[in-house]
Amino acid sequence: MTNQTMNLFEKHKNTLTIAVKALGQRTYYTPYPENPKGYAEDADLKAKNWISATMNNDFKGLKQTGETSWHGEEISPFLQIGVGVRYPIFTVDTLINNATKAQNTWSKTSIEERTAILIESLDRISTRFFDIAYATMHTTGQAFMMSFQASGPHANDRALEAIASGYQELTRYPQNVEWIKNFGKFDLKINKDFKPVAKGVGLVIGCSTFPIWNSVPGLYATLITGNACIVKPHPKAILPIAIVIQELQNVLAENGFDTNTVQLAADSSANPITKQLAENSAVKMVDFTGSSEFGNYIETLPKLTFTEKAGVNSIILDSVNELQPVLANIAFSASLYSGQMCTAPQNIFVSKNGVQTANGIISYEDVVKGIAAAITGLVDNPKAGPGTLGAIQAEATYKRANEAKSLGGVLVLDSKAIKNEEFVDARIATPVVIEVDKTQKEIYNQECFGPILFIVKTDSVENSLELCKTLVMEKGALTCGAYTTNNETKETIATEMNNAFVPVTFNFTGAGFINSHAAFSDFHLTGGNPAGNASFTNTEFVSKRFVWVGNRYM
């Protein structure tokens, strides 16, 4: 360990100590303010100038060489024009050879060195949060505030969580120990050392809607455990994660490490390289976020995989103290980023007998009307609507929302385009609400990604729970919401859904939303149902990436 990296470790030691403590306490913790006002006053203006200068130019900030061409196909959902940034394209052999070579040196570095480098990279990334926000906006369609928070401080939180968890696991056992066993007349003494050995090159496959938040847990878990990493972003959302890799490579270079320890593997929709990379024998582990179809393929590979796939998230609406705050919360959860969050609710299970409140029963029909009215009130608000909805990332999602009324059921609220004063060409679709009967499973028993909400009429809360649990076991889910004032019902829902390996969010109103999972506190996914086989960030998420080996010396 050089003096330079030793000083770097001392610089970040306090952050590491607090982060490791936070992992055990599961309380609120972040070193990265989520309010843009917590950063330099001129940061926003500089970032606007940066995105203007970056668009329609080659991205030359990476410390990678040997590209065969340049390509880019990102389209801004807000501007409806090409972003114009081109990225270096490398052959699979080049990427694999570079990673294999870097693996040999990175795996031999000390745990303290890796920790210092990685936390320092997060500090550097934090100085680019505004750049990242605009890059995220114009590739994913997230509104500015979500782009800033999700791709900035919240993503950094998840990355730091992976570093802290990795450090904790890698230092769990002593490096050297003298083992003594008494045999009466003599002692048998054996010196033993214990080494965490990295498994090998990792591949992180990104998604188009959350190109940083979903990618950095696997990226940093791979790196902290001594493995080189290749990041293969979605071809429609490269710029945000390219900035992250740029800053990582800068810190590696400044401290004398191989910059190919982490590489950007951009490709095109016409010539994808994902399967070639995933199937290469040099790649020992794969992190994936995306569709269930491709995720299922990833899980069949004869290597270590960490997947987040699709799921169908539901809310069980049984009884409440006051209905309006609940409907407002549901409306926001369903509308946030136009339902393009993996944690967004899709199905609302409501008994035909209505919803019990402190002031009596609200009929099923009035509950349905109330949900539609709450969504309409939100999206029609000229200030709140555009900022909540953002824009639709993919044309296929936009088409799905506009054609959802043909799926069947009773159309309660049609999707519509609203006006965004700042981006008049933004691709926007408000949530469509469809009422279905419990027997119409062919309609609601599938993921309909985007701003699509089904209200499912059931016989009772017990029937709602049964349908919800069955759906989780068949299709998977990342979240489940429930509203009930009955403690016995609450316990039953928690037990049944937890046994299907889904966490339950109870009675959220106000600023608490089913969509949000906080680093250092909430586990994102459980890894126990068809929505994915991994969890951000339990111990397995990092400990599986290395192997403990013990040597003995007489």
Residue 106 has pLDDT above 90, yes or no: yes
**Among candidates 32, 239, 25, 230, which has minimal Cα distance to 119?**
32
Query: Which SS3 state, helix, strand or coil, does residue 554 take?
Result: coil
Average pLDDT over residues 5-22: 96
* Cα distance between residue 305 and residue 285, in whole Å: 6
What stretches of 26-87 show up as alpha helix (H) in DSSP? Answer: 43-54
Backbone angles phi, psi at 348, to 5 degrees: -115, 110
What is the overall mean pLDDT for the chain?
97
Q: Give the per-residue pLDDT at 288.
A: 98
Mean pLDDT computed over 260-266: 98
Instruction: Name all domains of the chain by residue range, CATH numbers in brackets.
Output: 3-309+537-553 (3.40.605.10), 314-506 (3.40.309.10)
User: Distance between CA atoms of 214 and 536, rounded to whole angstroms?
Assistant: 9
Q: How far apart are CA 346 and CA 373, in angstroms?
A: 17
Checking if the pLDDT of 1 tops 90, the result is no
- Contact (Cβ atoms closer than 8 angstroms) between residue 30 and residue 149: no
pTM over 0.85: yes
Measured over the CA atoms of residue 473, residue 477, residue 483 and residue 485, the dihedral's sign is positive
What percent of the chain is predicted at pLDDT more than 90? 99
CB 350 within 8 A of CB 458: yes
CA angle 311, 317, 320 (to 5 degrees): 140
pLDDT at position 66, please? 96
- C-alpha separations of 218 from 203, 270, 542 in Å: 9, 26, 9
Q: What is the mean pLDDT of residues 349-365?
A: 97
CA distance 297 to 193: 39
- Two tokens, residue 245: 């890799």
Which pLDDT score, from 0 to 100, does residue 387 have? 96
Cα angle for residues 532, 313, 444 (degrees, 5° grid): 110
- Predicted confidence (pLDDT) per residue in 426-443, tens digit: 999 999 999 999 999 999
Q: In what helix (H) or strand (E) does residue 271 lie, and over which residues does it extend?
A: none
The number of CA neighbours under 13 Å toward the Cβ of 369 is: 6
Q: Which tens digits make up the pLDDT trace of 77-101?
A: 999 999 999 999 999 999 999 999 9
DSSP letter for each residue of 131-159: HHHHHHHHHH---HHHHHHHHTHHHHHHH
At 86, list the tokens.
């081109």
Could you identify the residue written with the tokens 């010396």? Answer: 553
pLDDT at 109 over 90: yes
Mean pLDDT of 216-230: 98
pLDDT over 70, % of the chain: 100
Q: Examine the pLDDT at 76 and tell me if it is beyond 90.
A: yes
